[in-house]
Amino acid sequence: MAGVKGQVQQRGVERRRAAVDAAIELFARQGVRGTGLAAVAERAGTTAPALIHHFGSKDGLVREVLAEADRRALARLGATPGAEPTLEQAFAWFVRDAEHTAAAERELTALHTTLTAENLTPGAALHDWFRDRGRALRAHLTALFERAAAEGTAPPGTDPAILAAETAAFLEGAHLLWLLDPERIDLPALHRSYFAGLAARLTRSPDGGPPPAA
């Protein structure tokens, strides 16, 4: 019985994965509003009631699509859950992500940006999801900058929370500029320039010299 149960669970995982893959493709191409559960189900080789069973609702499927995009980014960047990257590693991850986004993820990035704008108001279906994701990103960045300050690789007086908000604002703004004008905005180059400048700021003391030894 254990073997049968395992097979059933595996089929469930595979069906969810197929549904998410289909939703990513269709949402990116047609938008969330322009894509019904029936279309996703047909693309995934299942039924709309089956999608409701797995995800609860269309909003639940959208949340899973967004979460899956984040999981793929972490896997693509080689990030290990619980690991503590250095400043150099973290900045390099963001640059590599921009390179991948510019090459292969414009539609998914546009979907993410559009959904963020559509859920700015508290009470909107995905407002809490985007708010909490932003808070989590800023918390990770704050911890990164706190470690840099503790290790002496950031100048005295560095405010990790402000730097985290600044970096998050850059990431959101850079993607928006690129989506609006991809012919004029080089997303990877913009990231390389920003993070090179940020690294230079964090490896110099206020008087222009290297940071003091820890």
DSSP result, the chain: -HHHHHHHHHHHHHHHHHHHHHHHHHHHHH-STT--HHHHHHHHTS-HHHHHHHHSSHHHHHHHHHHHHHHHHHHHHT--TT----HHHHHHHHHHHHHHHHHH-HHHHHHHHHHHHHT-STTSTTHHHHHHHHHHHHHHHHHHHHHHHHTT-S-TT--HHHHHHHHHHHHHHHHHHHHH-TTT--HHHHHHHHHHHHHHHHTS-TTSSPPPP-
Pair (39, 82) in one structural domain: no
Pair (104, 25) in one structural domain: no
**Nearest partner of 64 among 118, 27, 9, 105, judged by Cα:** 27
Question: Is residue 126 within 8 Å of 62, Cβ to Cβ?
Answer: yes
The whole domain housing 153 covers: 78-214
pLDDT of residue 213: 47
Instruction: Give the lowest-confidence range in 16-20, 37-41, 82-86, 101-105.
Output: 82-86
Residue with tokens 């730097």: 163
Pair (50, 83) in one structural domain: no
Tell whether the model's pLDDT for residue 120 goes beyond 50.
yes
CATH number (domain holding residue 16): 1.10.10.60
Pair (123, 24) in one structural domain: no
Whether residue 31 lies inside any domain: the answer is yes
Pair (99, 186) in one structural domain: yes
CATH number (domain holding residue 102): 1.10.357
Pair (171, 98) in one structural domain: yes
pLDDT of residue 70: 85
Per residue in 43-80, pLDDT tens? 999 999 999 999 999 999 999 999 888 888 777 766 55
Q: How many domains does the chain have?
A: 2
Per residue in 134-153, pLDDT tens? 999 999 999 999 998 888 87
Residues 6+ apart with CB under 8 A from 97: 73, 76, 77
Pair (180, 83) in one structural domain: yes
When pLDDT is cut at 50, 70 and 90, the band that residue 207 belongs to is low
Whether residue 191 lies inside any domain: the answer is yes
Over residues 196-212, mean pLDDT = 71
Pair (135, 41) in one structural domain: no
Whether residue 135 lies inside any domain: the answer is yes
Q: What percent of the chain has pLDDT over 90?
A: 55
Whether residue 64 lies inside any domain: the answer is no
Pair (53, 85) in one structural domain: no
Q: How far is CA 113 from CA 152, 178, 180, in A?
A: 36, 11, 11
Question: Rounded to an integer, what distance in angstroms lies between the CA atom of residue 210 and that of residue 204?
Answer: 4
